[in-house]
Amino acid sequence: MAWRNFFNEIRGLKLKELPDHVKPMISIASAKNAVVRGLDNYNAKYIQTGSIDPLYHVCFGGMIFSYLVALPEERRHLEHQQHAKEHGH
């Protein structure tokens, strides 16, 4: 939804006007405000309502994180197996 709003904002701009429009959005202060706003929205939507969804988010996030951490090692292992198979070991 935010991307759609951003696209609609820049649709009418000329190319020369685009950097002046986008530059304030990519500052550190803007990023901090966006993170704080997101955390406040998450708190209001899930924490204050007593929902069990944050527990699901932690569990699934942990599973995805552990998969991504183990992925390079698994790829190296599979490449080694394939290399050994190609060379008759």
For position 36, what pLDDT does the model report?
Answer: 97
Range of the domain at 69: 51-88
pTM of the model: 0.61
Same structural domain, 8 and 32: yes
Same structural domain, 23 and 62: no
- The answer to whether residues 46 and 54 touch, using CB atoms and an 8 Å cutoff, is yes
Same structural domain, 40 and 73: no
Same structural domain, 34 and 77: no
Considering its fold, how many domains does the chain have in total?
Answer: 2
Same structural domain, 9 and 30: yes
Same structural domain, 56 and 36: no
For residue 31, CA distances in Å to 5, 23, 25, 35 come to: 17, 12, 8, 6
- The answer to whether residues 46 and 52 touch, using CB atoms and an 8 Å cutoff, is no
For position 6, what pLDDT does the model report?
Answer: 85
Same structural domain, 2 and 45: yes
Same structural domain, 41 and 67: no
DSSP letter string over 19-73?
Answer: HHHHGGGGSHHHHHHHHHHHHHHHIIIIITTT-SHHHHHHHHHHHHHHHHHHHHH
Chain mean pLDDT for the chain: 92
